[in-house]
Structure 1
Amino acid sequence: MSHIASKHMRNTLYAGLALLSLAGCSNISAPPASDSSSTTNRTGEALTLPALYTESTYHAGGVPPTRWLSDGSGYTTLEPSATSAGDDLVRYHPETQARDVLITAAELTPDGQDAPLSLADYHWSSDGSKLLIFTNTKRSWRTHTLGDYWVFDLNSRELQQLGAFAEPSTLQFAKFDPQAQRVAYVVNNNIYVEALASGTVSGKVTQLTHDGNDTIVNGTFDWVNEEEFFLRDGFRWSPDGEHIAYWQLDTEGTPVFTMINNTDALYPTLKTFPYPKVGETNAAMRIGVMDADGGDTTWMKVPGDPRQHYLVRMQWAGNSEQLLIQQLTRSQAINKTFVADASNGAVNELLRETTESWAEYVDDVQFLENGDFTWLSERSGYRHIYRVDRDSGRLNAITRGNWDVVEVLQINEQQGWVYFIASPETPLERYLFRASLDGSGKLERLTPAQPGSHSYQLSANADYAVHTYSNVQQVPQVDMVSLPDHQQIRMIKDNASAQQAFNALAKGSFEFFRVPARDGLQLDGFLMKPVDFDPTKEYPIVFYVYGEPWGQTVSNSWGGERFLWHTYLTQQGYIVASIDNRGTKSPRGFEWRRSIYKNLGVITVRDQYDALQAMLERWSFIDEERVGIWGHSGGGSQTLNALFRYPEHYHVGLALAPVPDLTLYDTIYQERYSGLLPESAERYKETSAITHAENLQGDLLLVHGTGDDNVHFQGSERLVNELIKHSKQFEFFAYPNRTHGIREGEGTTLHLRTMMTEFLTEHLPTGAR
């Protein structure tokens, strides 16, 4: 078949597909974000992979932990000491920018040690008199939540280690009581309270729970709840400091997953942990309240089988007598919110969110002085802020419109404002807004007309903020601004050297665009052209995909290492593009997100295919015979689906840490989007890429870390067997003991990206034709 004839057939097919419809998905008509900086630099410098992955030239540095003081006297941060090794903790006044050292590096040096503590994080007591220091950290699953804690008293100038009885780096989630007289923390699945030392009197340590072990977990969580509900810190001080509310998990009966480590010792070692795959037994969850001095636990009487429900959020309900508890059904279609009596455990259902797919839990709950509280709901079709009457559960809208609130930052009842992040005009950007708490609909955008993505850390009274800004051509900058006028007071981190290095690179043009899916729904995308682009010629194209509900690949924000690798590919003669299919995290409304329910891997990749066809129709410089796609995690799964479901259109795929068989992933994530077994068994089969592996025609590179505790190596091994069964040739690379990010070990990232680049070069020839 000739090249021209194949294009004609493609166009006819696409026109026919456009007559079909995918009902129920909102079509946001807002234009994409304006191109922040699409200028080309054809004569710039060549980027090399060693320079990108072994040097810091292009690295956009962050800032040390920065905290606003509750009294409004300024913010604190860490800066290198001028008089000794280590960092001083310094304060900046927000108006005058006067700088003073609150704690010297020398004062952060424990007795008998030569070096000061290295602060991974820190928190102030509510009165600002004490500093809680987190140091010597270790990973617990995905994040560094294990470590050592110290307290520095600004009045006595004394440094006290907490939990000295425990092994190093075993404390978790330490926090002051409201009076800053005690600190509670978790050690080995038990909760402790330690009184702070006074002078020569050591603080008393009280162990609150005693039943914590390998299966009973107090004050923290198991793998699946940490990963999917972001539940890590599992206890809360009451506002009066008299009680502690906490989660307890019982993982008895939850299947245990085993991973093997073949490289770190002479003989293999095993790592085991509870991991409930789809349809398997979850841990039982319950919430209790205990006196902070010890004693018996009063368990909250939340109805329902504790292994068929999730207690996803818990907090004190604006007082020290009641808790607010959110409970999801196992299907996650219903979120019930209860008010619980802390003294006897009695509960009353106050609010319910019900859907035909999955309901969201709410992080941004804040109680107001009259007992009302704020809430986020998608009941209007978009995610908006509501004010809930505590007595009746009635909701009154604070924000309205055909757009989503992305994140609530602060409720300032005294001023009458709620501060939040949104982008009503385009889902590609992020701006700071405030709305009147009274529900009058008054709305103000505080971020100036500066296209890109803005994030904020607000002071207690919202008069100032630490502001971070970036766009696709701008590395992140961090400054302090006044509000509501958004005037810069001080540049904290400009990353000028990284910006200069990036600007000097040879680059083709970058643009955002929109193309229609077969039902007319507009899909956002970006396109990066080769450096030596000639519109009269054709170039190979590489798509970057994620495509699942926890990611958005098309946004006007700095893309970091991945974006720089894509820039490198354009220097080699590739077009690089990405599409956000429906179901991604893009803030485009309820129907956008829920349309992929029980169709993950089907509708998601169909949108990707439709976008490819529309792009080929629009741009003659894309070579339809040289189409590649790559992705990691969920993007790896979608890469497999593209290769297996549309084998004549995707010629090369690089799948990193994918989930080829959806039944092998965890209960919380996969059942949320794919339904429960056994009733959804056929949907799991149809939506799993492994079912369609026999259709592979193109070139596949499959990559996985053997130490992946998230998406298990097991899934890729099963896919390997399936491909072998169908006599399919492919390349497979296993990284020993690397986890889901495939980052551990010296040289790993450079090795991975080099392998990916060489695979593309071999199987998807570069350059114009």
Structure 2
Amino acid sequence: MKKIFLIFYLFAQTMFAQNTINIDKLNWLPESHSFWVNEQDNIAVYDAKKLTENKIVLTKDQMKSSGFQGEVEKLVWNSTKTKVLIYTNSKKVWRGNTKGDYWYFDLASGKGYQLGKGLDPSSLMFAKFSNDNINVAYVSKHNIYVENLQSHVIKQLTKDGTAKIINGTFDWVYEEELACRDGFRWSPDGSSIAFWRVDATDTKYHLMINNTDSLYSYVVPVEYPKAGEKPSSVKIGVINLASEKTNWLAIPGDADNNYLPRMEWTGNNELMVVQLNRHQNEANIYSCNASSGTSSLIYQEKSNAWVDVFDISSGVYDGFSCTLVDNGKSFLWSSDADGWMHVYKISMDGKKKELITKESFDSYFLAYNKETKTIYSSSSPTDATQRYLYETNLDTKKTKRTTPMEFDGTNEYKFSPDGAFAKHTNSNINRSWNTRLVALKNHEKIFPIGKDNFVKPERDYSLEKFKVKTIDNVELDGIMAKPLDFDPTKKYPVFFYVYGEPMASVANDEPYFNDFIAALVPAGYIGIALDNRGTPVMKGTQWRKCIYKNIGIINTRDQAMAAKEILKWNFIDTDRVAVHGWSGGGAVTLNLLFQYPDIYKTGVAIAAVTDQHFYDNIYTERYMGLPSESEAAYKQASPVTYAKNLKGNLLYIHGTGDDNVHYKNAEVLINELVKYDKMFNLMIYPNRTHSINEGEGTSQHLGDTFIKFILEYSPPGAK
């Protein structure tokens, strides 16, 4: 009896320990499968193999006694996991909160102090330990500093940082279009730091005007290279800490007409650098000597459209494009040159290139387990609206699906750095997001205990998937939202949600529809989202890249021709057809209203690019070429070209503080609509950025404005 009780007690303790872990906020420690979570302001560390045990490595009392104030937003660990930096009091830089305060703590003593004393509050960026645990480096006001953890002496390594000379981080366009934020890397031995230096001296400012926050208006400048303007000059330097001298890497090519989006150390004195040409249709990988600065070409790839050096739709910043394998003798590289996104192994001397993932479907590299030589990738061979985890052995090249069959739909993984474990999140249109911790070998669930809890999403509409083939013989995937009392014998207004450009897809097997449209569906609307050619879905290279020099052309036609087929359905009211999109989707919305006014009767476009010349050079030139070479395509792609054709009802919305798609786009469009005496509705939000969510009541007002307009011009209800 005692034995039975003891077993029950141990099982209960195990369940209690596991059920207290909040894996939604799991953060992996470097080079391991341990993770940390914030447990009532105490930092707890778990080993994924021993979830019944946790170790409180830093208590809130220890933090408080050292003077720490604020929230624990992020931890940065040293290589031995005995010291941490706490990131707090963060502030926004462009899209993300990438500057703030850092506190250093020694986990053995629990004592700590704030770094960067004497520098401006909340000004430190990307702080990280040297591997020898002697120093911490960080960026403040576009200069790189190093702080000794024993003497507390702070040394400024770069001296020329300004708003136009940017050391250790990046300008607006590199962050927005090349996913670059953290702009420096410690050498493995801690003796030097490699860093990017952006010289934006010749890059012009786009001027925004703040009319509300002071008695007199003032100008807000944003360094912003528009399509056709030369990129900022970027180079990579290596600072030796002992001598404080900088060696500049001699990478071939004009620094004013090339991009350097990725760089990483491969040894104490060697770096790999990925370079893109101005057109972004040629990628070069160089091996560089940190001491001499000399570089040698390892590998080159060219494309008739553009070369992807990272997964543009992943949302991951600063991830290196190459993964070293075979003890550093080779690296993994992703390419869709053969018609599918595949993983290749390339020797460090560039003489051997080997196809690893050989199946006739896209394989987007996610992680690598060097112990088992397993490559993990995201694929979906039969349904482009979904995502599944696949694994391929580096030696045998054998590929199999890792995600079990019961997890139908969209699957996302947050991998441990050693590639042995992952947080797995699953959903589809019929069940809400659900999360578990898994050992990737056999996809074994290790948390939480018990069966997976697949919960039906709480919503007042239904979702279903469909396909539609256009007159051009193009088949598009779609997601349809219907009211719960849908009657197929009646006709409903239809509301299309669009994006349509290479940065995102909208027809995804996920449990929720676009928020604005979903709020209207129960009143009696059909909501539809379609992914046209040019969107980053898993349908091969030709699908994704045929939009080259065709943005605003191919995507607009695909959407319109698909809508034309949908309007043949018996339950669709062809007199009540609305469309909505934001940013690139706003441009598609305008193009649909202007180019196909007999199909789309009503539209809401938010923060739209109205002229392709107005957007930044890296994004626009990647997909459209340079304006000087494709002026006709630029004109054909721009909604303002067709504004004179407006027949229906348009609501245009923009924020004057939008540093991404500038308010200039709105005023140029307004001028064109006025010129042709076209009536339209307009809502301008002062000083709001691209997301239009700053300021009390803004989001509510935007939503109410949106809904009021649609209810008036495309009334709800079945007929």
Which residue number in structure 2 is paired with residue 55 of structure 1? none
Partner letter of residue 100 of structure 1? Answer: K
C-alpha contact (below 8 Å) 1:257/1:272 kept by paired residues? yes
Flag the 1:161–1:558 CA change in 2: closer, same or farther, 3 A: farther
- Looking at structure 1, the residues matched to 84 and 178 of structure 2 have their Cα atoms a distance apart, in angstroms, of 29
**Contact (CA 8 Å) 1:515, 1:522: kept in 2 or not?**
yes
Q: Distance in 2 between matches of 1:495 and 1:655?
A: 40
2:528 pairs with one of 553, 560, 577:
577
Partner-residue secondary structure (3-state), 1:685 = helix
Number of residue pairs matched by the alignment = 687
Shift of 1:444: 4.1
Please identify runs of 4+ aligned residues in structure 1 that moved more than 6 A.
Answer: 492-496
Distance 1:755 1:492 in 2: 46
2:299 matched to which residue of 1?
351
Residue by residue over 1:59-116, the C-alpha shift from the partner in whole angstroms, topping out at 9 and shown as x without a partner, is xx993352246454x3210121xxxxxx111123434422332211111225456xx4
The residue number in structure 2 matching 1:303 is 252
Show structure 2 runs of 5+ residues with no match: 1-21, 311-319
Partner of 1:676: 626
SS class of match (2:64): coil
In 2: Cα distance, 1:230 partner to 1:440 partner? 30
2:198–2:233 Cα contact (<8 Å) kept: yes
Residues 1:241 and 2:181 aligned together? no
Deviation of 1:467 after TM superposition, in Å, equals 1.8
- The answer to whether the 8 A contact 2:492-2:525 is kept is yes
* Equivalent in the alignment of 1:51: none
Q: State which drifts further: 683-692 or 394-403.
A: 394-403
Alpha-carbon distance between aligned partners in 1 of 2:172 and 2:451, rounded to the nearest angstrom: 37
Deviation string 1:311-350 (CA, Å, 9 cap, x unpaired) is 111111x212221111111111111111111111111112
Equivalent position amino acid for 1:633 in 2: S
Equivalent of 1:623 in 573, 577, 581: 573
2:363 matched to which residue of 1?
A: 405
Identify if the C-alpha distance between structure 1 residues 207 and 493 changes in structure 2 by more than 3 Å, giving closer, same or farther.
Answer: farther
SS of aligned partner of 1:640: helix
Number of the residue aligned with 2:28: 67
Q: Which amino acid aligns with 2:550?
A: N
- How has the CA–CA distance of structure 1 residues 327 and 273 changed in structure 2, closer, same or farther, with 3 Å as cutoff? same
Q: 1:531 aligns with which of 484, 489, 513?
A: 484
Tell me how far 1:564 sits from its aligned partner.
4.5
Instruction: Give the match's secondary structure for 2:547.
Output: coil
Q: 1:338 aligns with which of 286, 299, 312?
A: 286
CA distance in 1 between partners of 2:683 and 2:97 (Å): 28
Distance 1:330 1:390 in 2: 25
Q: How far off is 1:439 after superposition?
A: 5.2
SS in 2 for 1:361: coil
Q: Give 1:460 shift.
A: 4.2
Change (3 A) 1:393 1:323: farther
The letter of the residue matching 1:103 is L
> Would you say the 8 A contact 1:530–1:574 is kept in 2?
yes
* Partner residue, 1:747: 697
Q: Which structure's relative contact order is higher, taking Cα pairs within 8 Å and 6+ residues apart?
A: 1
Alignment counterpart, residue 513 of structure 1, candidates 444, 466, 485: 466
One-letter identity of the residue aligned with 2:524: G
1:478 matches 2:438: no
What's the CA shift for 1:188? 0.8
CA drift of 1:409 comes to 2.9
8 Å contact kept, 2:343–2:356: yes
Separation (CA, whole Å) in 2 of partners of 1:606 and 1:65: 43
Question: Does residue 653 of the first structure (1) align with residue 603 of the second (2)?
Answer: yes
For the Cα contact (< 8 Å) 1:249–1:285, is it kept in 2?
yes
Query: Contact (CA 8 Å) 2:658, 2:689: kept in 1 or not?
Result: yes
2:198 corresponds to 1:253: no
TM-score of the two chains, using structure 2 as the length reference: 0.92
Residues in 2 aligned to 1:710 and 1:404: alpha-carbon distance in whole angstroms:
31
- Counterpart contact for 1:531–1:573, Cα < 8 Å: no
User: Contact (CA 8 Å) 2:369, 2:420: kept in 1 or not?
Assistant: no
Q: Which residue of the partner structure matches residue 77 of structure 1?
A: 37
Kindly provide the amino acid, as one letter, of the partner of residue 373 in structure 1. Answer: F
* 2:581 maps to 1:636: no
Other-structure match for 1:90: 44
How far apart in 1 are the matches of 2:647 and 2:706? Answer: 19
Number of the residue aligned with 1:721: 671
CA contact (8 A) 2:28 2:417 kept: no
Q: For residue 255 of structure 1, report the CA deviation from its aligned partner.
A: 0.9
Structure 2 counterpart of 1:349, one-letter code: L
Q: Deviations over 1:408-439 (max 9, x none)?
A: 33222221111222222221112222111125
AA of the residue aligned to 1:610? M
Mean CA deviation greater in 219-228 or 474-483: 474-483
SS of residue matched to 1:468: strand
Query: 2 CA distance for matches of 1:547 and 1:269?
Result: 36
RMSD of aligned residue pairs (Cα, Å): 2.1
Matches within 5 A, 1:352-367: 352-362=300-310, 363-367=320-324
Contact 2:194–2:239 under 8 Å retained in 1: yes
Q: Does 1:214 align with 2:163?
A: yes
> Matched residue of 1:399: which SS?
coil
What amino acid is aligned across from residue 187 of structure 2 in structure 1? Answer: S
Which amino acid in the other structure matches residue 104 of structure 2?
A: V
Cα shift at 1:370: 4.1
Matched ranges for 1:725-740 at <5 A: 725-740=675-690
1:147 maps to 2:104 = no
Q: Using the alignment, how far apart are the partners of 2:179 and 2:420 within structure 1?
A: 30
Report the Cα offset of residue 219 of structure 1: 0.7
Cα offset, 1:458, TM superposition: 2.4
For residue 206 of structure 1, report the CA deviation from its aligned partner. 1.8
The 1:124/1:620 distance shift into structure 2, 3 A limit, reads same
Residue 621 of structure 2 aligns to a residue whose secondary structure is helix
State the percentage of identical aligned residues.
40
1:13 — aligned with what?
none
Aligned residue for 1:750, secondary structure, equals helix
Show the 5 A alignment for 1:424-435.
424-435=381-392
The aligned amino acid for 1:728 is K
What is the rounded CA distance, in whole Å, between the counterparts of 1:62 and 1:101 in structure 2?
16
- Post-superposition Cα deviations, 1:478-532, rounded to whole Å, max 9, x if no partner, equal 3212232323322399999x968x53x432x321111112331211001112232
In structure 2, which of residues 338, 357, 360 is the aligned counterpart of residue 380 of structure 1?
Answer: 338
Shift in alpha-carbon separation, 1:495–1:630, aligned structure 2, 3 A: farther
User: Residue 105 of structure 1 corresponds to which residue in structure 2?
Assistant: 60
Give the alignment partner of residue 597 of structure 1, picking from 517, 525, 548.
548
Question: How far apart are the structure 1 equivalents of 2:182 and 2:490?
Answer: 56
- CA gap of 1:141–1:493, structure 2 versus 1, over 3 A, is farther
The answer to whether the Cα contact below 8 Å between 1:418 and 1:437 also exists between their aligned partners in 2 is yes
Q: Indicate yes or no: 2:616 matched with 1:666.
A: yes
Q: Name the CA distance, whole Å, in 1 between partners of 2:354 and 2:418.
A: 24
Query: Which residue identity is paired with 1:685?
Result: K
User: Which AA in structure 1 matches 2:204?
Assistant: P
Distance 2:624 2:51 in 1: 53
After superposition, the C-alpha distances for 1:428-474 in whole angstroms (9 at most, x for unaligned) are 11222211112533434244431122222223443332222222343
Q: Tell me the amino acid that sits aligned with residue 609 of structure 1.
A: A
What is the letter of the counterpart of residue 420 of structure 1? S
**Kept in 1: contact 2:309–2:321 (CA 8 A):** no
Distance 1:151 1:699 in 2: 57
Moved more, 95-104 or 382-391: 95-104
Query: Could you say which residue in structure 2 is the equivalent of 1:34?
Result: none
Q: Deviations over 1:648-673 (max 9, x none)?
A: 11000000000011101110001111
Letter in 2 for 1:343: S
2:55 aligned with 1:120: no
